Structure 1
Amino acid sequence: MLQMTSENQSPALTVLTVDDSKTNHKIVTKILSPEFLIESAFSGKECLELLDKSFKSQKMPHLILLDVTMPDMDGYETCQHIKSDHRFNNIPVLFLSGCCSIDEKLKGYEVGGDDYITKPFDEQELAAKIRKASQVAQQTTKLHQRAEVATQAVAKAVRVSSNISTCMRFMSKLALVKSIQELVDAFFAATQELGLSSSLYVPMKPHAQTFFDDHIEKELEIELFNKLDGQQTFVHLGRRLIVQCGNTRFLIKNMPILEERENETLKSYILTLLEGFHTRLRSLQVEEGVKRQREVLQITLSKAKELIDKMAVNSALVVSRSHDIFEQTLGRVEGTLADFGLNETQEQSILGQMQDLSGNMDQLHSSLLLEDKNVQHLTADLEKVVSAMSKTIDRDCGLSGT
């Protein structure tokens, strides 16, 4: 049963006494046992063995009272071993020795000792020094605990800052990517910065496509993606996590084991990355669709213009050819009217009708030429409409330079 101190009723601190003399152990135990728990070792080697066991059982002594003069391994060498081991180097060490020279005390200080008590010692002096050293040990322990908490907090802050930076860099790249493959590469670069091994299911036409960050196709993961319905944002599968945004699905195969709050924060970063990916994916798909529609529209316009041009040329040829045929026919009629035995009045009547017909054909020719000009104007107007439509589509879709 743990001994309690009379002052604060908390468990007593443990003092490990190391001395090859049983008598000295009895004296020290008698003086200190009212306030402290006492553990004993009779050599430097036994001291180190006890420390190793106490570390494993997480019942470390709070202070070590170490005799200088011992066989095989003296107190100075024992202290050097203690202070060179990161598991024990924070435990205060007080030397006990019959030598009181300044050189001996400095030697103890050089090997890591915290104080030096000379034999024979006064009981009150020993108790006071042990009490003072225990207080220092408690304060040191608290400082180390606070430092550990602070270190962990700083590490978390660094991770959070790094994760935020990763998200921001990815978001800034989104407007620069011009293809789905570039988008996938940028996404995997960001998730690898987060230390994640992953694969990505991307809805595309005519079929969805699965990408792997190690470029090694895995049938099981493809089947897993195909079975999901997209209803849940997060699907937990042990250390694996699937994140879904619309029809875009992201599989993490090595989700870190973190505290709940830090885990939720990491999940929010991952979801932010996937939402950014999904949004840019949709815009790239819209851009591709607009590009195809514009190409079709331009091809259709080009074909219509070509057809209209051919019609205009053919129309002009027909009118010109008709006019030539008519002129030739009129000439022949004039040359052969005499053969029909017509009088002059009849001949003039027929020639007048032929000339009226020629005038009508000239008017038809002029009308066709006018219509050709109108068609040309219509073609120019259609080109302007197509250009305006393309600019409007680009503006509405947020495109530029495409």
Structure 2
Amino acid sequence: MMTALTENVKWVGKVDWELKFFHGQEYSTHRGSSYNSYLIKDQKTVLIDTVWKPFAREFIENLKQEIELEQIDYIIANHAESDHSGALELLMQEIPETPIYCTKNAIQSLQGHYHKTWNFIPVKTGDTLNLGKNQLVFVEARMLHWPDSMFTYLTGENLLFSNDAFGQHYASELLYNDLVDQSELEQEAIKYYANILTPYSVLVQKKIEEIKGLNLPLDMICPSHGIIWRKKPWQIVEQYLEWAQDYQENQITLVYDSMWDGTKKMAEAIIEGIKTADDQVNVKMYNLALSDKSDIITEIFKSKAFLIGSPTINRGILYSVAGLLEMIKGLGFKNKKAAAFGCYGWSGEGTKIITEGLMQGGITILDEGLRALWHPDQETIQTCKAYGKDLVAKI
């Protein structure tokens, strides 16, 4: 299916309803995704990005129904990651001399992916490409979210092709932000930011301020995943600015794994104490073994504080908790406070290990954590409640 965005610009991508994980098994995509490619017909014809490799043949056959491939004058590669460039290898077999405009870093990345020497044209911020009536303006967007990333702006039509920025993993045939379920869209947009763009928040702020400073008229933001922002497109830009500024809501999240429910009972008692001290705070609890890790990361991103619990096992912690700590360290959350808790039998290192992991992630540690010997009895439950109550004052 191809959809006209304007008289001269068409969406020629692929909606992937069946996608359940992205980046291998790292990121959950409960609502699927899309791979957005765009075809511009001016005096010159331009293809912006392609689709993921499993859909390469379908993509090219559909493209042939719209245009003879030899009529494509230029290809724009905003980002080399294979979910955007996956059809490029097959496409270049058909039109091998077509110039590919991309950043210098993208040339290295594309050659690293496909081991081909195509007709690359390196561009940098401020460079333009004349299409006839309109121009393309290139804006480097390093580390949003790869070193090779860039935005492409189409003058006259006032469209910003933003690649991974402002996108979501969200499958919809409705295509535009004003047509889809707004709560679903908001949920997928913040999840995308939390899991992918959080480490680069400082760069996000700088790049957005740079773009705003250009005073470009903007009718649509066209990302490479999910829907297109056509109604009040600046809303997602302003939302990114808010998320990039050490974002938090009035929320506390407890995350744990448990062997025999002892650590779970501690979590429940701590929550009781928190709610006793503050009945307005939004408290959420997740069992790591039963919950999606990408969703949990999103909830931590939204929280002003979070607690992580694990029993001690083999002088360590449960592997699900260790994995989450590694994700937290890599994402580099700011403006977050946290503490550890958990049961133990004889050695009891688990709480200390979690605390050290949080410190490595740059998280502000509230205290040395809370441990409970064996399965919590009523006295321990009361201690956990008191701990939760006292925690509110520390946050």
Q: TM-score, normalised by structure 2?
A: 0.22
Instruction: State the structure with more CA Rg.
Output: 1
Q: Which has the higher contact order (CA 8 A, sep 6+)?
A: 2
Bigger share in helix: 1
Q: TM-score, normalised by structure 1?
A: 0.22
